[in-house]
Structure 1
């Protein structure tokens, strides 16, 4: 594959890590004014709920979201800084979490990877722990007409060890793939400073805005996948994260009157750069029928890498 194609594949993998692992956190730099791009001002403090009421509201949202199993999602991810590929990417489509699956279309400046001939958008499918990325017609011409890049994450993990596919942002493994909004609500309940900000209108819907802070250690402790790690692997993961300068996550979400998350914000500030993600959800419980592309149209990235290694 061409250099730009490899970079687009990297963007897709980064996007997958975000969608599957960290939906629901926000950058702690958005303190003053309580707003982010596209956000709204919080309601007066006098209208906020008590801690007990906020906890009950999020518990109820967790139960409803978990039962919904799927939703439509529009997610915008931006990265900047010396250690990150600066730019933005927007992902729109359907995400399922029981079972884990997705079919989304990506577009944005990060996708071009400096290639003027790069496609304006790229489709990404995940099904049965396998990701497929549509690399476009031009790339297909360089790969015997096969435009879909396949990454079997379970096969890659089996070949490299249980912790090989650890999500670099949350420490999650394969059993934590496609982390659903419900799990993020459960994590927010572990926040020591959970609070209700106030009523806000999001995407034309009346919502209640909540916020809480989680350290990386708290996220890892709540993650079932971390129990697969040996003490040495656990300590090494903590040490590696500390080197990045990541302190933790300020988590924000907006819950509709029907009890579903309308929006979740993600943000991480590290020594080398920042990542911000905004996810807007709708149509909970929507039917989702994800299909893998035909095998004749796919090229296996893992097999390709093994071949390059032998060469």
Structure 2
């Protein structure tokens, strides 16, 4: 079980980042109506999040305790939720790299050759999220693995000081840069006018940050003329250090196919626990 603790330690970092994926939609400044205020553009962006069925993105920045991180991920939201992410904690050395897959409500954490040496040739650990139940709390933010990462971008709708910074080019895409500050309480208040489904989805995205002790964010959004956010940044002070993440989006609503690792390479946590109890 010692090896499973090592792998589980990576789950909190990796799955937390799922919550940090973000996306929104709006028109670039050059195509906006003169009456379109920054707040209105951000509100429209939040509305269009509801139409996203899949996305892929890159992430860089700093996480509380973990330090510098980078990741690449893709996620399918409909008809069912599936996700794949490769993540590296740059300050953790050889133990800082892991791969995550969420398939059929099972979370797989892969540690490559290093993990295989510790687990009789098995390079992946399987966590059945439904079976874990309350025990899932021991995996940090593992419960966020099936949440839509697009929701974090909607936080800026609660800002009282959102403004347009200017136009900037990101990865060759011309964008309009918006910036503002928002507290979690302000964002929650802004949800009162939303539908029940939308409100519940966005309130779930608050949970991981509340657990980190973050109560306020400084946020930046770079929105392209295709009415989608090309890049997004969120900064906040957590109980155990600063959070500063930048998400750059590559694709939206394109087919995403994710398969579970080969059974021969997977160690099932439930079976490991049964074996330990029998022993």
Q: TM-score, normalised by structure 1?
A: 0.68
Partner of 1:105: 86
State which of 179, 196, 199 in structure 2 corresponds to 1:211: 179
Residue 193 in structure 1 maps to residue 192 in structure 2: no
Residue 139 in structure 1 maps to residue 107 in structure 2: no
Partner of 1:70: 54
Aligned in 2, Cα 1:241/1:199: closer, same or farther, shift over 3 Å?
same
Work out whether residues 237 and 243 of structure 2, in 8 Å CA contact, stay in contact via their aligned partners in 1. Answer: yes
Secondary structure in 1 matching 2:158: coil
Partner of 1:35: none
* 1:89 Cα offset (Å): 2.2
Cα distance in 2 between the residues matched to 1:150 and 1:144: 15
Q: TM-score, normalised by structure 2?
A: 0.74
Partner of 2:125: 149
Deviates more, 1:200-209 or 1:8-17: 8-17
Q: CA RMSD in A?
A: 3.9
Q: Return 5+ residue gaps in structure 1 as ranges.
A: 26-47, 229-236
Work out whether residues 193 and 212 of structure 1, in 8 Å CA contact, stay in contact via their aligned partners in 2. Answer: yes
Residue 94 in structure 1 maps to residue 74 in structure 2: yes
Partner of 1:39: none
Partner of 1:224: 200
Work out whether residues 252 and 264 of structure 1, in 8 Å CA contact, stay in contact via their aligned partners in 2. Answer: yes
* 1:17 Cα offset (Å): 1.5
Cα distance in 2 between the residues matched to 1:77 and 1:56: 28
Aligned residues: 260
Deviates more, 1:212-221 or 1:290-299: 212-221
Partner of 2:148: 179
State which of 100, 103, 117 in structure 2 corresponds to 1:127: 103
Secondary structure in 2 matching 1:283: strand
Cα distance in 1 between the residues matched to 2:261 and 2:161: 45
